[in-house]
Amino acid sequence: ITPENRWEGDDSRIEFSEKHKFGLAPAGRLDIDSVGLLVLTQDGRIAKQLIGENSGSEKEYLVRVRGKLDEEGLRLLNHGLSLDGEKLKPAKVEWQNEDQLRFVLKQGKKRQIRRMCELVGLRVTGLKRIRMGKVKLGRLPPGKWRYLRHDETF
C-alpha cells in the first residue's frame, strides 16, 4: 500500500497517510491461484462481519470451469453438497456464459469453490472475487488499491 500503487480512479476524497497502514490486515484470503477483491482493515469488527464463523456477508465470484455440468450438478452446487463432513450453506450458482459460473456464497471454507466444482465433475481454470458484501471490485486493476467510499458498506 503506497501512494504509487493507489488507483487513479479512487474517488473517496481521502488523502493518503502512512498512519492509515498501521494495523492493516486482510479480512479473508484469496488462494494463490485466485484473483480479485481483497479487503484490508484495521477494524476487527469488520473482519469478523466479513469472515467470522457466523458471517452472513455475501461474497461473489466469477469462476471459469472445464467439464460438463447437468441440471442435477447445478442443483447440487446451489444446495446439497458437503465438505469436511459438514453440509454447506445454500449458495447461488448460475451460468454466466458457456464456460463461466457466478457463485454467491455466505460461507468461506478453504478452497470451497474449487472443491465444490470437483464434486460435480468440473475443473476450475480461473477464479475471481468480484464482491464482498456491498463492496464491488468494479474497474480496480490488479495490484492497485483504493479507499472505501462513505457509501460503501459490508
Which residues belong to the active site?
31
Give 33: exposed, middle or buried? Use CB within 10 Å, 0-12, 13-18, 19+.
Answer: exposed
C-alpha cell at 37: 477483491
The DSSP call for residue 37 is -
13 conformational bin, left if phi > 0, alpha if psi -120 to 50, beta if neither: left
SS3 107: coil
- Determine phi and psi for 129, rounding to 5 degrees: -85, 125
Question: What's the count of helices (H) and strands (E) in the chain, helices before strands?
Answer: 3, 10
Determine the Cα–Cα distance for residues 3 and 111; give it in Å rounded to an integer: 32
